[in-house]
Structure 1
Amino acid sequence: MKKRKFVKLLSIIMVVTLGITGCSTSSNSGKIDDKQKTAGTGDSVDLSKVTLRFGEVGWSQYQSELKAAGLDNTPYKVEYNTFQGGNLCLQAMAADQIDLTGSSETPPVFAAESQNQGNFKIVAVNHGSTLLQELVVPKDSPIKTVADLKGKKVGYINATTAQYFLIKMLEKVGLKWSDVDAKQMSTADGVTALAGGQIDAFASYGNSIIAAHKNGAITLQSAQDILSGYFPYEASVTALKDSGKKAAIIDYLARVEKANQWKRDNAEAWAKISAKPQGFSEEDGLDVFKKQEAQTKSQVILVDDKVIASQQDLSNVFNSVGLIKNKQDVKNFYTNELNDELKKALSK
């Protein structure tokens, strides 16, 4: 038994290590007081002795935006690790290699299935845009409605918001997952397959949708009114038990909210920084950012019943098609323990 547990732990650590694509550190006390009151206790904590390990997804978005906004002068050290996917961030959290990360609503429902329930709690959410999440078809396709997809080949990205909204779209017109010939593929392969006629429709997001449209694809249905736009921030259970890291998490999320405003006020400057790492031209990056912010202003918000209900629906949908074996009560991986202190920090 002990040997099996060791092998399983070793495999998790190997996956996490392979998933890391970059590591960097930011530390600059500036003029900020290194000592702050800890959440809930009022006791003073020396943040200069704290290291907050943050998991980035895809590229160094958070490190870049805090630096650009002049908000990287944290009184604690921040260690950044970049992973190619929110699922890998949460695997790292399960192995206690990071303290804080952000993801879409999808990775947490799978991470919670692990033996230690993933060693995470969702402590806050970034409410953002739901644009560029679409079901697209070729320009001259005879498919005019979602109902026309019955028996057709539909590409999708497995265990993502794309699969979630595709299931919801099918359900709305009375179709089941088994009524279509669903083809699991990557974003890049999906764009190629759609253009080449290997699939009849493609459910995807982000720059793959832009690429599909540039190839002539048209929107069959947008998921902008299906998705919540909630992007959870997960903190490790271990970090939440540490008063210093807990205080650093609250401070860091408050800085992210200030950076959200800086990006809106400096859209062109942000596009110069963010477009290339996301696979956009600078022009497309600026256009996408402005449209997304016009639809929904990016904002760090507290955990509440509406946030939890959205996550529960996603979990239920994935359970209904067998992606999640057990029915979940997602409240178990949420916590509002930071709400009071975070609310104060966000209002400053």
Structure 2
Amino acid sequence: MKRRSVLQGAVAGATGLALPALVRAADDLKELRLDYAYYSPTSLVLKRFGWLEQDLKKDGIEVKWVLSAGSNRALEYLNANSIDIGSSAGLAAVLARANGNPIRAPYIFSRPEWTALVVRRDSPIRTLADLKGKKVAATKGTDPYLFLLRALQTVKLHRSDIEHVGLQHADGRVALEQGRVDAWAGLDPLMAASELDAGSRLIYRNVAFNTYGFLNVREDFLARHPAQVHRVIAAYEQARKWTLANTSQAARILSEEAKVSLEVALLQLKLRTDLSNPLPSAEHVKALQAAAPILTEEQLVKPGTNLNKVIADLVDTQFARAQLGGAAG
């Protein structure tokens, strides 16, 4: 029996889909489009070694890689049908789905501490309360932006209490270091580079406010090509396990791709990236439920939006269960 037929049968059993539905999908896919991102080191490993290309080539499917500069870009590409699979922060994905982006998340690519609030080395700002009235750079629609809002809330400040400067992550770093903004909601590896290269200081860290790294799939693509989504997840698993076993080599790949020093890449990968739990579960649902109220309080979603339903529709805890049941570690 051909490998594809075996895989499709396995997928049907794992997902509860009938085999005829998969057959009707005809696997007429000619090109699979997915993103890579410096905030997702395993995507860089996967892209570097070409494991997905090697697997899909047998079925005449080409792979197209698109760089995502932030969660907002990945989610925009998904919504515009420019890519089929994209990586973003969990809370950013909730915001996108709540506002009509038809995505599901069947895989967790990391649990990172990839964002914090950053100031220049000589800044007089020491605490969150000192940010009142100050210019703070952050990329809207991303975990750093939502982290900023949640952090402000801990000292009873709101978005209106600061001057938000909307910049993409790399531009936010430059603006901070040049003194054009007072603070920046950073994102690794840019944040780590600013720390190590420019002496920037992290004035507020909270790993619980960093939402997980979600691999999102357009719902229509998931419905038409579930077997291929499983193959992408299998490739990500290969990259995850390789990274865990070869962290220093993975850091070198990150360093080369993101054009940061090896020291910066090691800081991001060894100290701020947890790759131990790739299966979406109640843990991720609960984390998003705890984070979601900020979306309502800051009027980022329509009044009356049922965010618990949005989260339940987003986090697919069943699709990859059979595939990843014993994968963690």
Distance 2:327 2:234 in 1: 5
Please name the residue that 2:128 is paired with.
Answer: 146
Instruction: Tell me the alpha carbon deviations over residues 244-275 of structure 1, each in whole angstroms, 9 at most, x when there is no partner.
Output: x2122123212312221111222333233331
**What is the TM-score normalised by the length of structure 1?**
0.74
Corresponding position: 1:277 with 2:257: yes
Please name the residue that 2:183 is paired with.
Answer: 201
State the shift of 1:150 in Å: 2.2
**What amino acid is the match of 1:301?**
L
Q: Give the stretch that moved more between structures: 73-82 or 171-180.
A: 73-82
Distance 2:171 2:147 in 1: 19
Please name the residue that 1:191 is paired with.
Answer: 173
Distance 1:140 1:98 in 2: 42
Corresponding position: 1:317 with 2:287: no
**What amino acid is the match of 1:281?**
S
Aligned residue pair count: 308
Cα gap change, 1:193 to 1:227, in 2 (>3 Å): same
Please name the residue that 2:63 is paired with.
Answer: 79
**What is the TM-score normalised by the length of structure 2?**
0.78
State the shift of 1:33 in Å: 2.4
Please name the residue that 1:68 is paired with.
Answer: 49
**What amino acid is the match of 2:210?**
L
**What amino acid is the match of 1:162?**
P
SS in 1 for 2:116: strand
Alignment partner of 2:230 out of 250, 268, 272: 250
**What amino acid is the match of 2:198?**
N
Distance 1:190 1:57 in 2: 20
Please name the residue that 2:210 is paired with.
Answer: 227
Q: Gaps spanning 5+ residues in structure 2: where?
A: none
Distance 1:207 1:305 in 2: 29
Please name the residue that 1:33 is paired with.
Answer: 3
**What amino acid is the match of 1:184?**
G
Cα gap change, 1:307 to 1:167, in 2 (>3 Å): same
Please name the residue that 1:3 is paired with.
Answer: none
Please name the residue that 2:89 is paired with.
Answer: 104
Please name the residue that 2:279 is paired with.
Answer: 301
Instruction: Tell me the alpha carbon deviations over residues 53-94 of structure 1, each in whole angstroms, 9 at most, x when there is no partner.
Output: 232144796374266385653254352230434444444434
Distance 2:135 2:73 in 1: 29
Higher relative contact order (CA 8 A, sep 6+): 2
The structure with more radius of gyration: 1
Which has the larger share of strand? Answer: 1
Please name the residue that 1:129 is paired with.
Answer: 112
Q: Gaps spanning 5+ residues in structure 1: where?
A: 1-31
**What amino acid is the match of 1:264?**
L
Instruction: Tell me the alpha carbon deviations over residues 122-159 of structure 1, each in whole angstroms, 9 at most, x when there is no partner.
Output: 223223221x4121223333322212222233222222
